[in-house]
Amino acid sequence: MSAMPPDVSPAAGLFVDPGFKPQAYPIYDHLRTTQPVSSMPLQDGSTMWFLTRYDDVVAVLRDHARFSNDPTTIFPPEVLEQRYAALHTHLTPEQFAAVIEVDESIGRNLLGVDPPDHIRLRSLVSKGFTPRYVEALRPRIQQITDERIADMRLQAEANGGVVDLLSTFAFPLPLQVIVEMLGIPMSMRDAFRDWSNAAVEFNPMTPGDMGVNARLLAFVRYVRELIAEKRANPGDDLVSLLVQAEEAGDRLTEQELVGMIFILIVAGHETTVNLIGNSLLALLDHPDQLALFRSRPDLAKNAVEELLRYTGPVEASLPRWVREDTEFAGVQFRKGDQVMPILASADRDPAFTGDPARLDITREPTRHVAFGQGIHVCLGMPLARLEGQIALTSLFAAFPNISLAAPRDAIRYRVGFLLRATEEIPVRLG
């Protein structure tokens, strides 16, 4: 473990520092041993707690009695509004109104509600994401992957052999899969990229970023138009099925419908794009593991699990709200505090798996937390796994000599703490 200065703490703005991501893992190692439950004061007087140990992360994600995803179950609306206003004192009344509008429009999504609403909402979509249903999508996912690879070749020819892996392959592949499942035209692709980028550029230090809010409102407007279109012309896609469930009465409200479509679009591709990107980078950093993967495509399943553990795309789960004053891991949490389980740190905890900093695609499958745990565990897990396996095996089969076309330390990470995501990955196809 490398030595760290004593002020390595979230309170010093550590996690939102633009230079944080490339050195995150040694910092987590340091925090895990020196202050495994660390904190940052928030402007409303409450505290944001960060968890770095595997056992603590799992304990919070599984404890819905003490930790909630929905602050409206903890405080009455007037108290919540006061606390919310205290977090946004830097905004004009109009800007604050826009923040509230975004929150009300998309806040009631799967990740923003507790049981029993969570059970009701999740049961409406769970059938579309079972391993069996997803396996039936395999030929179509392979076809989309092959089309992307053909397109990469064309773009590389026009570009001296170099392309950006993310924009030509890793981004359009999962996006096309999810928009086809939802029944959305692919012509919306660029708009989606911008809107869902906005959704994940969350920064706990500056809640209420106005640029982000304006883009999210455009997203919400589009989702409402889409709902109207599916009401008029239903198909056999997921959005049409959800619209019919909403029309049937008590199964979901219009607000929940917007939230559901929002979360499916954002979660459905912002993550898998980075599974593909981060995995390629990690394998290029470990040529022995890359050579092994290339020569043993039968290891794909195992390799994807290890890559999720080693360099998962979701750095931290969404913060959970503390329902009542409670002690946790020797620390006193107060009602209304927020707790952020850092998944990336948990998956590198030596108490969870041996030699965690080593990438080993033959490692026995672990119970990693890259997909979260408990009732909010990733709905799209089977789909993401299949996409990751097909994408990586097809990529290495098509381009056995693929290499980075930029110095490794020139690869920049995107702003925002929640995702481990790079801006672009220029590659030479070889």
**Parallel, antiparallel, or unpaired for β 47-51 and 338-341?**
parallel
| Residue 33 exposure: Cα atoms within 13 Å on the Cβ side | 13
Supply the minimum distance, in Å, between the C-beta of residue 376 and ligand HEM: 4
Q: What angle do CA 338, 342, 347 make, to 5 degrees?
A: 155
Amino acid at 329: A
Q: Quote the DSSP letter at residue 127.
A: G
Asked if 371 touches ligand HEM (CB under 6 A), the answer is yes
Asked if 9 touches ligand HEM (CB under 6 A), the answer is no
- For ligand HEM, the binding residues in 122-151 under the rule CB under 6 A are 122
Asked if 282 touches ligand HEM (CB under 6 A), the answer is no
Asked if 380 touches ligand HEM (CB under 6 A), the answer is yes
Asked if 60 touches ligand HEM (CB under 6 A), the answer is no
Given 292, 318, 331, 415, the residue binding ligand HEM (CB under 6 A): 318
230 vs 420, which CB is nearer to ligand HEM?
A: 420
Q: At what angle do helices 287-295 and 272-285 cross, to 10 degrees?
A: 110
91 vs 200, which CB is nearer to ligand HEM?
A: 200
DSSP-assigned beta bridge partners for residue 321? 68, 338
Check if the beta carbon of residue 347 is closer than 8 Å to that of residue 356.
Answer: yes
Supply the minimum distance, in Å, between the C-beta of residue 161 and ligand HEM: 29
Given 141, 165, 370, 404, the residue binding ligand HEM (CB under 6 A): 370
Structure tokens given for 33 = 């041993």
Check if the beta carbon of residue 239 is closer than 8 Å to that of residue 183.
Answer: yes
Question: Taking the CA atoms of the chain, what radius of gyration do you get in angstroms?
Answer: 21
Asked if 340 touches ligand HEM (CB under 6 A), the answer is no
82 vs 123, which CB is nearer to ligand HEM?
A: 123
Asked if 218 touches ligand HEM (CB under 6 A), the answer is no
Asked if 110 touches ligand HEM (CB under 6 A), the answer is yes
Asked if 111 touches ligand HEM (CB under 6 A), the answer is yes
Task: Give Cα separations from 10 to 41, 49, 61, 216, 424 (angstroms).
Answer: 9, 9, 21, 27, 27
Q: Quote the DSSP letter at residue 414.
A: P
User: What number of chain residues touch ligand HEM (CB under 6 A)?
Assistant: 26
Point out which residues bind ligand HEM (CB under 6 A): 110-111, 122, 178, 263-264, 267-268, 271-272, 275, 312-314, 317-318, 343, 370-372, 376, 378-380, 383-384
